Structure 1
Amino acid sequence: MSSSPPVARFLEGGGAMGERMRQFDWSAHPLGPAANWPAALRMAVSLCLNSSFPTAIYWGPDLHVLYNDAWSVIPAERHPGALGQPARELWSDIWHVVGPQFEHVMATGEGVAQYEQMLPMVRGGKPRETWWNYSLTALRNPDNTVGGLFNQGNEITDVVRARRARQAEIERWRDVFRQAPAPIALLRGPSHVFEIVNDSYIALIGRADVLGKPVKTALPEIVGQGFLELLDQVYRTGEPYLGKGATVKLQRAPGQTAEDRVLDFVYEPMRNPGGEVDGIFVLATDVTERSRAEAALRLSNWQLGEERARLRATVEAEQRAQTALRRFTDMLEAQVRMRTDELSRALEAQSAAAARMRATFETQLLYQGYMDPDGILRDANQASLAGIQARLEDVVGRPFWDAPWFSATPGLGETVRQAVRQAAAGRTVQQPIEVELPIGRRTFQFSLRPVFDAQRRVIGIVPEGVDVTDR
């Protein structure tokens, strides 16, 4: 039985897009027959088709696009016609953004990584705001010239929108709190840090500079009055506390003697999505005047009837306030549950994207890892570990150049150390190396690719090695 021709082998698999590539008339296309494609393009296409992560290849001067099933949803209605199109035509709507990035990589060979990049992509005939994390990596010919680009990425529009909606909701509730007639505050964490206070609360305590401060720092005069202990109890037990007619000494103006205020108050525990207490909602009613009136009633029996009527009216007002508070609390809890569900869905989508990225990392076609800018290895895929017959814990946390991939080859460790320094300075390093491994002497096309954050600072380095021993 004769073996399959080379073109069939590197185009094997790949689901629907693999079948489209095999059926495409490449002889009439600028890339020419698939059998004549350069080795770098064949290897990249094979990697692309068999990856579960959205991946596209742009090749040649006009950057003709080849892509896999996972990437096919990105061009939306332009799929499947996008196959083989020049990048400038395919992405005419966002070329003003991605075009300079493509041209930079083609001209310099330096990879590009974008996080939370907004692309005004046309979908359904209309420009729409979409958000993406993606990378562009140079694909090099044997003479080290850049022949094309390797593109991987995923859409995070739902995550960005969910975060915006949550922030808008927080701001809306800040406005609601601010306009509430009763003093309201929201404390976060075991130190009870002020996160929200409304105008009525500021008026009660006589100062506005409390946000971001723990209660004991913002209101030092209440230390020793028992209120901090009550907050600790509510945070620890998750049980609400209702205070009635409590006297608190507050220094409501700098340099003045602390004055007594009488408060009714509620400490209501707030829980995170995991059910753990992470904050306390404070609602207070300043009943100082009522308390003084009650004292006057005890001293002025001749006004008893009038004062009783006034007290009944005050109690009714308080009952209405308590009813309004319960309704307010019920509405707040419903809103929090709804927003928590939205955030959970967004986080699940993000976790799924991370799983897809990890699946791409565990390719058997190349040795790949990840290290800090100082060269300390943090991860390596199974293919690279199999090459040195080691486990991940044997190499993680060690300088990359001291790892078993290079230790058996004299002088290679220092060469790799110098290459790491270049990559940490923001340059992509590529060179062939020969190494002695437990599996024998092998030749690799070795590269170190820096990873940048949004401010173009190097936050990591991706080492990659393609075994070219038998080529």
Structure 2
Amino acid sequence: MTSSPTALAFLQGGHEMGARIRAFDWASHPLGPPEGWPAALQMALSLCLNSSFPTAIYWGPSMYTLYNDAWSVIPAERHPVALGQPAKELWSDIWATVGPEMESVLATGEGLAQFEQMLPMVRAGLPRESWWNYSFTALRNPDNTIGGIFNQGNEVTALVLARRAREAELDRLRELFRQAPQPIALLRGPDHVFDIANEAYRRLVGGRDVEGKAVSQALPEVVKQGFIPLLDKVYQSGEPYVATGMLVKLEQALGAPAEDRLLDFIYQPVRDASGRVDGILVLITDVTDRARAEAALRTTNWQLGEERARLAAMVEAEKRAQAALRRFNDTLEAHVRLRTAELERTMAQQGAIADRLRATFETSLIYQGFIGTDGVLLDANTQSLSGIQAKLSDVVGRPFWETRWFESTPGLAERIREGVAAALSGMAVREVLDVNLPIGPRRFDFSLRPVFNGRGEIVGVVPEAVDITGRDVPASP
């Protein structure tokens, strides 16, 4: 007897699976012909077939399987023979997990939902770990008995693996962050709370435990130095802040006397997935010891030149005195010779010291030189000459601003001339300059420092340039 269209109206639609269910030989299946199926099953199956979300129905004590097109990708190669199969046979590979869950729903009527549940599902003949979000909901007959289970779910394996990969990468980066030799800290929120501070950062602040505390609480000495407004500006504007050689007073213990440190640092805004600033990355280089050593070396280099000139004048005066004394009294000749020998030994010792300092000057990686009080270049080290591919004789004796370091950069010669004049008046000049050199464009941390003798008189100017090409330091306007 042919079923009437009205009796099978609940099977309408459903695309491929709707057609497969309508064509299935249900008469020889334990569920029997569709027109005789319980109303609860018919209603649930109609919802299933017309849903675009992966949906299946397990009906009866054996939990025979019915499903829609969206769900057909879940059993993979088991589709389409999965249609009408008992759940225990269909999912024998994962029955240890889903079996007790489904049996509990049939027994109690209480549904459940699982999120990111790992199921070792067999695909292409091999068990593979896969992760799923799914729910089981009891389907009740009119008499309130439980007839089956309404199942919806989808695979989230790619999301889980991607998240785990991100978490592993974050763990690796955190470990690198903590082991970095450079002081690094991560601040979160508008109150600038320390999220992470590596060991180098803690050493810089005297070993204080700063994590979980706001900067103003963990490092109260920086509040009066104006660093909180700087952090606020970076957080609000989203623009980084870069400092070079900034003097910072840091306590080595809470309440202890503050020590002066010279720091290069960057406040780099950190954005969340929506692009909103939610933190600040702090990167620090402590240049205190280096700056002190370089300053001492520079002072010694140029003061030694003055000392050698003074000793040379003393020797010359001694020689003149020797001649006069020889004319006056030949008996003093031996004494004069002895004195001369002593002075010459002193000069030799001073010369050895000068030679060592000269070697240090010549091997320095900083561009260095010496300018006389008339603005003429008197000396330049090897590193600075390599930048213009020149010999010392090419630049010595010329006004410093007319040398090859500045001739290819428009407007720079006049700027340097003004800087030399300022230094000769007693001012220290420091700028970040972009310079076109024969070896290519370079960005320098450039300074001009007056040199004083023991009487406080200016005897020259020391130009220095540190190559900071590639660093995120803007040029001076």
Return the alpha-carbon distance in structure 2 between the equivalents of residues 222 and 8 of structure 1: 79
Matched, 1:41 2:41: yes
- Could you say which residue in structure 2 is the equivalent of 1:453? none
Q: How far apart, CA to CA, are the structure 2 residues paired with 1:314 and 1:184?
A: 26
Residue equivalent to 2:74? 74
**SS of alignment partner, residue 114 of structure 2:** strand
Helix, strand or coil: the match of 1:190?
coil
> Which residue matches 2:9?
9
AA aligned to 1:188 is R
1:112-154 per-residue CA deviation (whole Å, 9 max, x = no partner) reads 1112211111122222221222111111122211111011112
- Separation in 2 of the partners of 1:162 and 1:38? 44
8 A Cα contact 2:247 2:260, kept in partner: yes
Query: SS of the residue aligned with 1:262?
Result: strand
SS in 2 for 1:5: coil
Say which SS state the counterpart of residue 118 (structure 1) adopts: strand
The correspondence of residues 155-234 of structure 1 with structure 2, limited to 5 A, is: 155-207=155-207, 209-234=209-234
Whole-angstrom distance in 1 between the partners of 2:87 and 2:278: 49
Amino acid in structure 2 at the alignment position of 1:242: V
The letter for the 2-side match of 1:81 is: V
In structure 2, how many angstroms separate the alpha carbons of the residues matched to 1:311 and 1:217?
45
Distance 2:209 2:79 in 1: 56
Point out the more displaced range, 162-171 or 191-200.
191-200
Asked if 2 retains the 8 angstrom alpha-carbon contact of 1:6 and 1:35, the reply is: no
* Match in the other structure for 2:288: 288
Is the 8 Å Cα contact of residues 115 and 132 (structure 2) preserved in structure 1?
A: yes
- Helix, strand or coil: the match of 1:216? helix
Q: Name the CA shift for 1:18/1:188 in 2 (closer, same or farther; >3 Å).
A: same
Q: 1:123 to 1:136 in 2, by over 3 A?
A: same
Q: Judge conservation of contact 2:194–2:213 (CA < 8 Å) in 1.
A: yes
SS at match of 1:225: coil
Name the counterpart of 2:83.
83
Cα distance, 1:290 vs structure 2: 2.5
Query: Match for residue 302 of structure 1?
Result: 303
Cα deviation per residue 1:185-212 (whole Å; 9 max; x = unaligned)? Answer: 2223322232333332222122363233
Q: How far apart, CA to CA, are the structure 2 residues paired with 1:218 and 1:122?
A: 55
Aligned counterpart, 1:241 = 241
CA 1:258/1:272 → structure 2, altered by over 3 Å: closer, same or farther? same
Q: With structure 2 as the length reference, what TM-score do the two structures score?
A: 0.62
Question: Superposition pairs for residues 420-459 of structure 1, below 5 Å?
Answer: none
Question: What do the CA deviations read for 1:161-196 (whole angstroms, capped 9, x no partner)?
Answer: 221111111112123323333222222332223233
- Using the alignment, how far apart are the partners of 2:152 and 2:158 within structure 1? 18
1:101 aligns with: 101
Distance across 2 between alignment mates of 1:204 and 1:274: 34
Corresponding residue for 1:19?
Answer: 19
Residues 195, 211 of structure 2: 8 Å contact kept: yes
After TM superposition, give the deviation of residue 312 of structure 1 in Å: 4.0
What one-letter code is carried by the residue in structure 2 that aligns with 1:142? P
Q: Give SS of 1:35's match.
A: helix
Q: Per the alignment, do residues 277 and 310 of structure 1 end up closer, same or farther by CA in structure 2, a change over 3 Å counting?
A: farther
1:116 matched residue in structure 2: 116
Aligned to 1:379: none
TM (norm. structure 1) is 0.63
Q: 1:30: Cα distance to partner?
A: 1.0
* Structure-2 separation of matches of 1:40 and 1:208: 68
Residue deviations 1:70-116, cap 9 Å, x none?
11111111111111110011111111111111011111111111122
d(CA) in 2 for partners of 1:229, 1:157: 46
AA in 2 matched with 1:26: W
Structure 1, unaligned stretches of length 5 or more?
327-471
Change (3 A) 1:3 1:146: closer
What is the CA–CA distance in structure 1 between the aligned matches of 2:243 and 2:304, rounded to whole Å?
Answer: 28
How many Å separate the matches in 2 of 1:123 and 1:48? 25
Report the 3-state secondary structure (helix = DSSP H, G, I; strand = E; otherwise coil) of the residue aligned with 2:281. Answer: strand
**CA-based RMSD:** 3.0
Specify the code of the residue in structure 1 equivalent to 2:108: T
The structure whose Rg is larger is: 2
Change (3 A) 1:30 1:4: closer
Residue pair 1:297, 1:303 contacting (<8 A) in 2 also: no
The answer (yes or no) to whether the contact 2:109–2:138 under 8 Å persists in 1 is yes
**Whole-angstrom distance in 2 between the partners of 1:90 and 1:158:** 24
SS at match of 2:253: coil
User: C-alpha deviations, 1:258-300, integer Å up to 9, x for none?
Assistant: 2221101112223334433332222111011133335545765
For the residue of structure 2 that corresponds to 1:120, the secondary structure is strand
Deviations 1:218-255 (A, max 9, x none): 22221121112111112222222211111212222356
1:397 corresponds to: none
Q: Is the 8 A contact 1:206 1:252 kept in 2?
A: yes
Q: RCO higher in 1 or 2 (8 Å CA, sep ≥ 6)?
A: 1
The verdict on how the C-alpha distance between 1:224 and 1:284 changes in structure 2, with shifts beyond 3 A counting, is same
Partner of 2:309: none
Identify the residue that residue 51 of structure 1 maps to in structure 2.
Answer: 51
1:320/1:278 Cα in 2 relative to 1: closer, same or farther (>3 Å)?
Answer: farther
SS in structure 2 of the partner of residue 275 of structure 1: coil
Q: May I ask how many residue pairs the two structures share in their alignment?
A: 325
In the alignment, the residues of structure 1 paired with residue 266 and residue 84 of structure 2 have an alpha-carbon distance, to the nearest angstrom, of 66
Report what 1:391 is aligned to: none
**DSSP 3-state at the match of 1:93:** coil
Partner of 1:153, secondary structure, is strand
Q: Is the 8 A contact 2:3 2:35 kept in 1?
A: no
Change (3 A) 1:38 1:214: same
Runs of 4+ in 1 over 4 A off after TM superposition: 297-301, 318-326
**What is the identity, as a one-letter code, of the residue corresponding to 2:238?**
G
CA contact (8 A) 2:195 2:212 kept: yes
